Amino acid sequence: MQTGKMELMAQQVVLAFLGYYNGAIDGIWSDATIKAKRDFEFHDSYVPGIPANGLPFSLNEKLPKGLYWEKKVLNHRQMTPEKAAEIIRSRTRTTQPTNPPKQPGKRPEVVAEESESSDDDAQE
């Protein structure tokens, strides 16, 4: 059975292409991925595939019409490489830095705070 992250991502892309998966293309076989696979398994277009209760596709199982293996990666006959790339770009999680990157050699600006002491405090 395919279990590597890249192989699972390819399966998520195929499920997204077919309209069953709306989650992130992250290679994690999550509850959302399982639901998408189950939904596909119970659709009439899953013929002649044999349902696997939402588990990832396996190299030795009979695939539904239109799906095929290419170098041990699941693919769909109607999905172009451009369409696959578009799905990946639009659904890949990216992490945004919480702080802006520091620029080497540049000191942060320091803002001097004015003292709130009164003239009386300064004379003591």
Q: Provide the Cα torsion 34, 38, 39, 45; round to 10°.
A: 130
Q: Is 123 exposed, middle or buried (0-12, 13-18, 19+ CB in 10 A)?
A: exposed
- Answer yes or no: is 81 within a domain: yes
Q: Is residue 83 included in any domain, yes or no?
A: yes
> Average of pLDDT values for 96-100?
50
Does residue 112 lie within any of the structural domains? no
Supply angle C-alpha 99, 105, 110, rounded to 5: 65
Is 101 within the bounds of a domain? no
With cut-offs at 50, 70 and 90, classify the pLDDT of residue 99.
low
Residue 60 inside a domain? The answer is yes
- Which residues form the domain of 19? 5-91
- Number of domains comprising the chain: 1
pTM (two decimals): 0.72
Residue 34 inside a domain? The answer is yes
Banded model confidence at residue 106, pLDDT cuts 50, 70, 90: low
